[in-house]
Homo-oligomer: A and B are copies of this chain.
């Protein structure tokens, strides 16, 4: 077991005191030490293969250089891009990302967050916020800089990096109207989370602005942003007997659930019913039929969340202010084969 090189080794090898070595090695304080000495220390450190011990440093500086991120569901293909985007930005600044998932369960969320806090993460990125989300006491007390991503809450002033869902829903509604659809249903995601509620409100607004009545009977809510929940919700819609020629689903997974429900009843997509999704998940272009959906730059979203957090980390006083993240990310419509002209009435 090769022995580990410590700062003391570097210092003695370079013939200086450890504090001088420390200063020489830290770019922030390097200016304070003699150029020639600094050069020598750097050279020795390099030669010995010195690696600062993050724990020792952190113990002093009271930071771990780790950021915690909580996602609702590791298996949902929506999150890897967000995660990857954040990770890349953070790593550039020397931070590592610790990930946890909470299965979209607020109770579990609290436990995961506690575990992260116990590890003294310097900041938190939450992709799991429920609208009624309340920060655990620990988070309030310790004031860990936190940013929300993808979802937001209405109760708190936490910076949130999200997509412009109102615009996104506008895109699909107008697309559908352009195809001649008038009776358009909406299978929403859980309206306890912002993406569910905002999309639902946007749907009503856009229907209205297109001069179409958003009949209450045409809106049903899925319990979760999952295929099975979408399937069940769509079943309810179908059972209710209202007629419609298109479905705007709360996200791609729910849309897939609608596929299942529709197919089970022998309805064809898009000949009988057009379906749209939201997110443009990986491989959603390969399902049968390829799904018309709304695409968002998720990797960029993760990166933006990381940047926002980095700013908060730098200016501690911003911590609980509303840091205004850059404008909402703009969605784009991806037209595939799940939408077509409204069947002749």
Residues of A within 8 A of B (CB): 1-2, 4, 51-56, 58-59, 64, 66, 74-75, 77, 80-81, 83-84, 87, 91, 96-101, 115, 117-120, 141-143, 256, 282-284, 286-289
Contact = CB atoms under 8 A, between A and B. Distances in A.
B118 A101 contact: no
Contacts of A83: 74
Given A120-B55, A141-B2, A75 B81 contact: yes
Contacts of A52: 118
A84 B74 CA distance: 7
Contact of A142 (B2, B55, B64): B2
A286 B59 CA distance: 50
Nearest to A285: B287
Contacts of A101: 84, 87
Contact of A287 (B2, B80, B118, B288): B288
A110 to B, nearest CB: 14
A80 B101 CA distance: 11
9 contacts: A1-B142, A2-B142, A55-B55, A66-B98, A77-B283, A80-B80, A91-B115, A96-B119, A286-B288
Given A2-B141, A54-B118, A75-B84, 8 more contacts: A1-B141, A1-B142, A2-B142, A53-B59, A74-B87, A77-B282, A77-B283, A283-B284
Contacts of A283: 77, 283-284, 287
Contact of A286 (B64, B87, B100, B287): B287
A205 B58 CA distance: 55
Contact of A1 (B64, B97, B143): B143
Contacts of A100: 87
A75 B81 CA distance: 7
Nearest to A289: B288
A66, A74, A100, A141 — most chain B CB neighbours (10 Å) = A74
B84 A80 contact: no
Contacts of A256: 286
Nearest to A81: B75
Nearest to A59: B55
Contacts of A142: 1-2, 4
